Amino acid sequence: MTREEIDRQLSLQKEAFARRDPDALTALHVPDGTFESPAYGVVKGRPAIREVYQYWYTAFPDLMLTWETALIDSPRASYLWLFTGTTSGPFFGETKAGSKITLTGATESRYGPEGIIAIRHVFDFSGTLMRTGVLKVKPS
């Protein structure tokens, strides 16, 4: 894939995130693509990938994801992102509803002619669980 084709795919991802559209996000992945994150491990295939997107949109209905300009070296793209959202219900356990979360992370994606072949997210999942009240930490 060319740099321009990958940049177009990234634009489609940004548009789908802005619309909070898990179906459009899922459609950008190849049918047997992989999605890796600290929260879910590795999932494979569009149905499983859609579940991940939907889970986050259900837990954070006001989820906003913005990212910096991607570094593209075909067939890969990497970018840093900022996630903000407010919990509305369960999130890997019982949460404090109304918890506001701000989280930074990084993503590496690999693209092919049919879309995203593999995507890997890196972020502080334990810190996120602490901020939502799921993970309790005792002071030492």
Share of the chain above pLDDT 90, in %: 64
Chain segment 19-57, per-residue pLDDT in tens: 999 999 999 999 999 999 988 899 999 999 999 999 889
The answer to whether residue 27 sits within a structural domain is yes
Q: What is the 3-state secondary structure (H, E, C) of the chain?
A: CCHHHHHHHHHHHHHHHHHCCHHHHHHCEEEEEEEEECCCEEEECHHHHHHHHHHHHHHCCCCEEEECCCEEECCEEEEEEEEEEECCCCCCCCCCCCCEEEEEEEEEEEEECCEEEEEEEEECHHHHHHHCCCCCCCCC
Question: Could you tell me the residue range of the domain that residue 13 belongs to?
Answer: 3-78+106-123
State residue 72's pLDDT score: 98
Q: How many domains does the chain have?
A: 1
Give the mean pLDDT of the chain: 89
Residue with the bigger pLDDT between 138 and 32: it is 32
The answer to whether residue 14 sits within a structural domain is yes
Average pLDDT (110-121) is 97
The answer to whether residue 36 sits within a structural domain is yes
Q: Which residue type occupies 2?
A: T
The answer to whether residue 88 sits within a structural domain is no
CATH of the domain at 44: 3.10.450.50
Residue with the bigger pLDDT between 10 and 40: it is 10
Which pairing describes strands 41-44 and 100-112: parallel, antiparallel, or unpaired?
A: unpaired
State residue 40's pLDDT score: 85
Q: Which residue type occupies 65?
A: L
The answer to whether residue 135 sits within a structural domain is no
The answer to whether residue 28 sits within a structural domain is yes
The answer to whether residue 49 sits within a structural domain is yes
The answer to whether residue 138 sits within a structural domain is no
**pTM score, whole prediction:** 0.85
Tell me the CA end-to-end span of the chain in Å, nearest whole number: 52
